[in-house]
Amino acid sequence: MVNKVNRELTLKQKRVLQALEAFILDRGYAPTIRRLGGDLGISSPSAVFKHVQSLERKGYLTREAGELRLAGRPAGGGGEVRVPLLGPVPAGWPREAFDLPGETVDVPEWMVGRRAANVFCIRVEGKSMIDAHIDDGDRVVIERTDTAASGEMVVARLDDGSVTLKRLRRENGRILLVPENPEFAPVEVRELRVLGRVIGVLRKY
């Protein structure tokens, strides 16, 4: 006899799913287990992880390349949003600030959530972020922000006015813009202006 998965949710599982939906629709990506636990007031990461696993087994969540996704199309997130397309921005050596060609591109609504007015796309040139699955010609979805945490991928303007796409690292008082390709060296800067952080990648095959 084949066991069937019970799709009914407990009250705690409903709370976890609601918190995940709100976070993903707002930011376009899933929270960490610790962040999710903090939002829910659950101190045990293992308890949160068990709830997430249950939601996966019951078909409410899926994983794509290790990232949690809402199964199917989230409510209110099945369409597309038109956002400005800027660029190109080098994922290589920094250069002059990106152009403003007046073009637009359609981005899945689930990716931007409620941040549509604060999102733009860039065209990428170069292969310095190839190990982060960002290749030459990709269109990268960026959320406008002037702050970013260490470890996030950002579009940054340097003191000389040049712009680059790299991973931000802050180590022992140093500010590094780190490529995801061993053929490129990190760039150390004294000051930088963050223009936005990466929230998604669009690619045509």
Active-site residues: which are they? 128, 166
Phi, psi of 154 (to 5 degrees): -135, 155
In Å, how far from its chain's centre is CA 94? 22
DSSP 28: S
How far is 87 from 156, CA to CA, in rounded Å? Answer: 13
Do 56 and 71 contact (CB within 8 A), yes or no?
no
| Contact criterion met (CB below 8 Å) for 101 and 81 | no
In whole angstroms, give the CA distance from residue 49 to residue 61: 13
């813009």: which residue's tokens?
177
